[in-house]
A = this chain, B = another copy of it.
Amino acid sequence: MSSFIKVGIVGYGNLGKGVQQAIAQNPDMELVAIFTRRDPQQLAELTGVVTEHISAAERYIGQIDVMILCGGSATDLPEQTPQLAAMFNTVDSFDTHARIPEFFSEVNQAALNGGNVSVISTGWDPGLFSMNRLLLQSILPEGEEYTFWGTGVSQGHSDAIRRVPGVRAGVQYTVPVQAVIDGIRAGETPQLTTREKHRRECYVVAEEGADRGEITNTIVNMPNYFADYDTTVSFITEEQLAKEHAGMPHGGFVIRSGVTGTGSKQIAEFGLKLDSNPEFTASVLAAYARAAVRFSREGAAGAKTVFDIPLGYLSPRSAEELRRELL
């Protein structure tokens, strides 16, 4: 596939900014416009490109090959993806695992009606990690599989910390337990719950005069969020928080430990170590935008996931070139 891809971005938070940067790294892609629910004229100063209110999207039918949707999974995407899939090819990173079947079905209907292709739930989990779970299960049907997340910030757990009385600000890192990973890499196949695989590190800025012992107690005993985990709480200053915890690192591993033949141990692992979670997710979205356009140009329509897409569709290079140089 060598033809040019004209892209729209919907939403301009960290993910939308990341997509704008990712498009700049892909010479076969051009950013046409950014769509927002905010005041487009004000936002245009930040984006530096054509910026439109989301209600203007319809006017771009025929001028945009694919819309990359950068809203959140809680409320934005359930509404925006079906709406936009009726008008454009789309890609999103819908990540509420439990609601994927229902989301797929709604987006599929809208995309079929519009004659468009919608790639849903891409990124790294769901996304690259899902692909590795599927690939490695299919190759090694007898085995155990492990997904670890981190070291990275969990937004939900950080929010939970900030709701504790006496806490001014805070951030929570999910950290995979190294000893467990080392054991699995060495061939062990323990039965583990998520909590046994991860610990939680909290960095908290306390209000002046707050009881730090009380804060720590409240956090480590908080049901659902922290009580079942090995949780540490460290108190830091506002300056430290701004300086040392402003990044959005993340990562993790999918490991499958399988057995073949008469007991040969076969271990496969896919891992990510990301300085910027939103920029990496954005880069995955950009590659899948290419796949959506390619499917659409071949006449396909409907919702697709990473399981439906041949890897060759992600690359700007031709099939011949890929066979010659990468196979």
Contacts and interface: CB of A to CB of B under 8 A. Distances in A.
A126 B262 CA distance: 25
B323 A101 contact: yes
Contact of A269 (B25, B26, B137, B270): B270
Interface stretch (A5-13, A80-88, A191-199, A309-317): A309-317
A134 interface: yes
Chain A interface mostly = helix
B270 A315 contact: no
Contacts of A135: 128, 131, 311, 314
A11 to B, nearest CB: 17
The count of identical subunits is 2
B269 A271 contact: yes
Interface string A261-298: 11011111111111110011011101100100000000
A104 B318 CA distance: 15
A141 B97 contact: no
Given A266-B276, A266-B279, A283-B260, A25 B314 contact: no
A139 B287 contact: yes
26 contacts: A17-B261, A18-B261, A21-B262, A101-B323, A133-B326, A134-B312, A134-B315, A134-B322, A135-B311, A138-B290, A138-B314, A138-B316, A140-B283, A185-B273, A261-B276, A265-B275, A266-B275, A269-B273, A270-B270, A270-B271, A271-B271, A306-B311, A307-B312, A307-B322, A307-B326, A308-B312
